[in-house]
Amino acid sequence: MKPISYYRLLAVAAAACAAVFVVVRIFAAVAPTFEKDKPSASNLAPRISLPLNADTARNPSLSAGISRSLPLREGAQVVTTLRNQKTNLKNESGDSPQSLGFQSQASIISTAIKPSISAETAIVEKFDGTVLWNKDGLKRWPAASLTKLMTVAVAATQLPMDLVIRIEDRKLGLSVRGDSRRTLMEGEMYSVRDLIAYALLPSNNEAADALAGAVGREKFVSLMNQQAANWGMVNTHYEEPTGLSVLNQSSPSDIAILLFRLKENFPKLMDLSAEGRAQVREQTSGRTTDLISIHKFAATNGFLGGKTGFTYDAKGNLASLFLLRGAPVAVVVMGSDDREGDTTALLSYLRETR
């Protein structure tokens, strides 16, 4: 066998080195293409715009500061505030959101099953203006006997508690479904304190009308509207003091403001509605009567006060202030077929999401 020469071995080795060099150059040119097509971690996560509530969708100004995109798990909900929409109107009345303690903010709360309620309009709101749940919360709706919350507030500022007022027969009648009870008779005499209890607890129309009459009904209603404006209740108008008129209009957002203002400025009135009972005395005969609230949450743990309302036009209204984890939370439903059931559903939702 003929031996391989030294020069031939050297040529084979050189050819092998050249082949390896070519392969390395080809791989170096192709590798960036593969790296470019590799999915990044940021591309793997879907980016979804934060969902806005119905009021925000109708009003682009509400979306300022919360319309960014970010990964969001299905079912999460945005906590925002409807009061942003009212800033300019409140400034015109001299009360800025900051001076009232309301702050604009947006954050995500934990996932929970959203409650299904029958109310036409409703809101769940904290004292600082944070809206925890909303269903057309700015929508105007007949206030019915929620009107009496403002009636007793104005009466408390205009009349001495011990002043005795004579009941007039003004043929006011009763609200349907018993939301006004124990009709007062013409000629009976009651103190302002007792008439306030009649108006708040059994929601008596004659009592509310008598309080307004002691000041002068036209002046009294003007004071009600003035107070509403001063407190930033921009969707509220009062035509009379009982709530029987469909022209008495408000919104859940405004009623929430009213509840917080009453708790802050008229704590005894809210305590009375929270306790849900009082004894009143007719001054002429000396007869005493025990009044019991028709608000189903009265005298229950954590209830801080509120008011019922019902007419055929308004359907069921219910304004409630609850102590939830050490802070007051307003739950207001209007136009409901089951106001207590709706309120209970919203409370359950709060407990699941906070």
Show the beta-strand stretches assigned E in 73-152: 77-79, 107-109, 121-126, 131-135, 141-142
Residue 254's pLDDT is what? 99
Residue 12 has pLDDT above 70, yes or no: no
Residue 36 has pLDDT above 70, yes or no: no
Q: What is the DSSP letter of 180?
A: S
Residue 71's pLDDT is what? 29
Q: Would you give the distance in Å from CA 109 to the centre of its chain?
A: 16
CATH number, domain with residue 146: 3.40.710.10
| Segments in the chain forming alpha helices (H) | 6-37, 41-44, 54-58, 87-92, 147-158, 192-200, 205-215, 217-230, 252-265, 267-275, 339-353
Residue 263's pLDDT is what? 98
Contact status, residue 113 vs residue 352, Cβ threshold 8 Å: yes
What number is the average pLDDT over the span 165-176? Answer: 73
Give the model confidence (pLDDT) of 212-222 as tens digits.
Answer: 999 999 999 99
Residue 295 has pLDDT above 80, yes or no: yes
Q: What is the C-alpha to C-alpha distance for residues 146 and 292, in angstroms, rounded to an integer?
A: 17
Q: What is the DSSP letter of 202?
A: S
Q: Is residue 189 part of a domain?
A: yes
Residue 106's pLDDT is what? 33
Q: Is residue 333 part of a domain?
A: yes
Give the count of domains, the chain: 1
3-state secondary structure of 337: coil
What number is the average pLDDT over the span 249-259? Answer: 99
Residue 253 has pLDDT above 50, yes or no: yes
Token couple for 320: 């409630």
What number is the average pLDDT over the span 42-48? Answer: 33
Q: Is residue 33 part of a domain?
A: no
Residue 47's pLDDT is what? 29
Q: Is residue 224 part of a domain?
A: yes
Of 44-58, 145-159, 196-210, the poorest mean pLDDT is in 44-58
Contact status, residue 268 vs residue 274, Cβ threshold 8 Å: no
Average pLDDT, the chain: 78
Contact status, residue 78 vs residue 66, Cβ threshold 8 Å: yes
Residue 93 has pLDDT above 70, yes or no: no
Give the model confidence (pLDDT) of 304-333 as tens digits.
Answer: 999 999 999 999 999 999 999 999 999 999
Phi, psi of 96 (to 5 degrees): -80, 160
Q: What is the C-alpha to C-alpha distance for residues 56 and 85, in angstroms, rounded to an integer?
A: 9
Residue 189 has pLDDT above 50, yes or no: yes
Residue 169 has pLDDT above 50, yes or no: yes
Q: Is residue 308 part of a domain?
A: yes
Print the domain residue range for 148.
141-353
Residue 183's pLDDT is what? 76
Q: Is residue 53 part of a domain?
A: no
Q: Count Cβ atoms below 10 Å from residue 87 Cβ, excluding itself.
A: 16
Q: What is the C-alpha to C-alpha distance for residues 134 and 328, in angstroms, rounded to an integer?
A: 17
* Identity of the amino acid at 279: Q
pLDDT band at 112; cut points 50, 70, 90:
low
Q: What is the C-alpha to C-alpha distance for residues 136 and 82, in angstroms, rounded to an integer?
A: 10
The more confidently predicted of residues 156 and 103 is 156
Residue 301's pLDDT is what? 96
Contact status, residue 227 vs residue 215, Cβ threshold 8 Å: no
Q: Is residue 105 part of a domain?
A: no
Of 311, 317, 305, the C-alpha closest to 119 is 317
What number is the average pLDDT over the span 287-295? Answer: 97
Give the model confidence (pLDDT) of 113-143 as tens digits.
Answer: 788 999 999 999 999 999 999 999 999 999 9
Q: Which residue is it, tokens 């709060």?
A: 350
Percent of the chain past pLDDT 90, that is, above it, reads: 61
Residue 62's pLDDT is what? 30
Q: Is residue 289 part of a domain?
A: yes
Residue 291 has pLDDT above 70, yes or no: yes
Residue 135's pLDDT is what? 97
Q: Is 177 left (phi over 0), alpha (psi -120 to 50) or beta?
A: left
Residue 35 has pLDDT above 50, yes or no: no
Residue 98 has pLDDT above 50, yes or no: no
Residue 264's pLDDT is what? 98
Residue 85 neighbours by CB under 8 Å, 6+ apart? 55, 59, 61, 62, 138
Residue 170's pLDDT is what? 74
pTM score, whole prediction? 0.69
Half-sphere exposure of 308 toward its Cβ, with a 13 Å CA cutoff?
28
* Identity of the amino acid at 297: F
3-state secondary structure of 348: helix
Residue 96 has pLDDT above 50, yes or no: no
Please provide the DSSP assignment of 20-82 as one string: HHHHHHHHHHHHHHHHHHSPPHHHHS--EEPP--HHHHH-GGGGTTT--EE---TT-EEEB-G
pLDDT band at 31; cut points 50, 70, 90:
very low
Residue 28's pLDDT is what? 53
Residue 292 neighbours by CB under 8 Å, 6+ apart? 201, 202, 276, 277
